[in-house]
Chains A and B, each alone.
Chain A
Amino acid sequence: MVIDTEGLSFNFGKQAVVKSLSLKVPEGSIYGFLGPNGAGKTTTIKLLMNLLKTDEGNIHIFGQELKSNRVKILSQIGSLIEQPAIYLHLSGKENLLNRALLLEIPAKRVDDMLDLVHLTSAANKKAGQYSLGMKQRLGIALALLPDPKLLILDEPTNGLDPNGIIEVRELMLRLVKQQQKTVFISSHLLAEVERMASHVGIINNGELLFQGSINELQALNQPQVQIEAENTVDAANLLKRNDFTVTEIDDEHIFVPFTSKQKMGEINSLLNKNGYTVYSINKQQKDLEKLFLAITQSA
Chain B
Amino acid sequence: MKNLKKTHNIEFSHFVVDITDEKQVKSCCEKIIQNFGHIDGLVNNAANNPKIETDGINEQSRLENFNIESWQEDISVGLTGAFLCTKYFGEAIAKQGGSIVNISSDLGLIAPDQRLYEKLGMPSENQPVKPVTYSVVKIGLIGLSRHTATYWAKQGVRCNSLCPGGVENSQDPSFVAKLTSLIPLGRMAKQNEYQGSLVFLLSDASSYITGTELIADGGRTAL
Chain A complexes with chain B: no
List residues of A whose CB falls within 8 A of some B CB: none
